[in-house]
Amino acid sequence: MKIEAVDLFYLAMPEITDEADGSQDALLVRVSAGGLVGWGECEAAPLPSIAAFVCPKSHGVCRPVGASVLGQVLEGPEDIARIAALVGYNSMDLLQAPHTFSGIEMALWDLLGKKRQEPAWRLLGYKTAHRKTPYASLLFGDTPQITLHRARKARQDGFSAAKFGWGPVGRGDVKADADHFVAAREGLGRDAELMVDVGQIFVEDVEAAAARLKPLDEAGVLWIEEPFHGGALEAYAALSARGARVRVAGGESAHNVHMAQHLIVYGGIGFVQIDCGRIGGIGPARKVADLAVARGVTYVNHTFTSHLALSASLQPFAGLSESRICEYPADPKALAAAITENHIVPGADGLIAAPDAPGLGMDVDLESLKPYLLDTEIRVGGQVLYRTPAI
């Protein structure tokens, strides 16, 4: 097969708010080859990601992503890795390139899986897609009462694990944060798994983060996620070394394998969380999963958007039985739900697994996403470089 076309669709909710909710827009990717199509999704701002695909060459290693993808041969996983290496080298100075390529890379696995009638996780070498406990990924409320209500609802919705993040936590004093941790625990009950995501709020301030360790331990929190900037490795290492029961988690900001590797090797994290829509797709995520196993770190997906992205994010660690927990977008915007016809829903056991179906196993719902499609054009020097393709 030859890659004949890569179509990028800019989708957005009618209103984009300041909430740290990445499901408000989406860049959906369709790759065509050999009479088949594969789908993927970038976890990135759509417009600059489209621009990274079509922009004029800036110099020899600042080429548009499209130049390294279109016309390439796709016969096996080794071709996906080869194309990824081409993009990595030819676009090394184009910082949006990994984000753009992430959605394309997912689509290549989807396409190859459809061609071979195998799920992507089997193409990655796994024999089984182990069932995992989905944790509801939620935002802290503006008040502990709202947090309590959201935690109770997650429990009523059948989740035995939940993560609360962002919102006011880290912006006030330690007591205010502790009240939210207590509320989340109370709403979930003692027997549920609770995680906390502070969304880089402490930047590199180890003492500010460390002041939260005791209330986190008291609330029985499994991990504190992204206390610092994704590159603040010394701060990660210093906090991890405090020896709290709560472990440090991070990795969603990794744009390549090396960034995730550094968090594992130098940052001392206990959980590495990878977003396939950012790190370059499923192949690089699988490499991180292997490294995590070798280092005794637990691999977890990072997914806050559609079930297409969820399926892609489950593939790299589908076969790891010891990685038993996975992020599940519990309250995404309507757009994210509209992207696929089918959804990955917990079974009677409350668990989910990567689909046992060709490719990513998700059917994109063209009709239901049409209302969210933003008509877009990029024009340079009188030449149209991009126009929204026909759906």
Q: Residues interacting with Mg ion, by CB under 5 A?
A: 197
Question: By C-beta, is 326 or 369 nearer to Mg ion?
Answer: 326
Please state at what angle helix 174-188 crosses helix 144-156, rounded to 10 degrees: 20
**Least gap, CB of 270 to Mg ion (angstroms):** 15
Question: By C-beta, is 193 or 197 nearer to Mg ion?
Answer: 197
Question: By C-beta, is 33 or 42 nearer to Mg ion?
Answer: 42
Question: By C-beta, is 138 or 364 nearer to Mg ion?
Answer: 138
Which structure tokens are listed for 16?
Answer: 């984009």
Q: Which residues of 241-276 are buried (b: 16+ CB within 10 A; e: fewer)?
A: eeebebbbbbbbbbbebebbbbbbeebbbbbbbbbb
Calculate the alpha carbon distances from 332 to 23, 161, 259, 310 in Å.
6, 17, 27, 12
Question: By C-beta, is 116 or 262 nearer to Mg ion?
Answer: 262
How many residues in total does the chain contain? 391
Which structure tokens are listed for 65?
Answer: 């992503």
**Least gap, CB of 327 to Mg ion (angstroms):** 8
Question: By C-beta, is 122 or 247 nearer to Mg ion?
Answer: 247
**Least gap, CB of 226 to Mg ion (angstroms):** 5
Residue nearest to Mg ion according to CB distances in the complex: 197
**Least gap, CB of 302 to Mg ion (angstroms):** 6
**Least gap, CB of 324 to Mg ion (angstroms):** 19
Contact between residue 115 and residue 41 where contact means Cβ atoms under 8 Å apart: no
Q: Is 125 exposed, middle or buried (0-12, 13-18, 19+ CB in 10 A)?
A: exposed
3-state secondary structure of 205: coil
Q: Within 10 A of 351 (CB to CB), how many other CB atoms are there? A: 15
3-state secondary structure of 73: strand
Q: Give the separation between CA 195 and CA 23, rounded to whole angstroms.
A: 20
Q: Give the separation between CA 217 and CA 111, rounded to whole angstroms.
A: 45
**Least gap, CB of 338 to Mg ion (angstroms):** 23
Q: Give the angle subtended at the CA of 123 by the CAs of 336 and 121, to the nearest 5°.
A: 45
The phi, psi pair for 135, rounded to 5°, reads -105, 135
**Least gap, CB of 254 to Mg ion (angstroms):** 12
Question: By C-beta, is 22 or 113 nearer to Mg ion?
Answer: 22
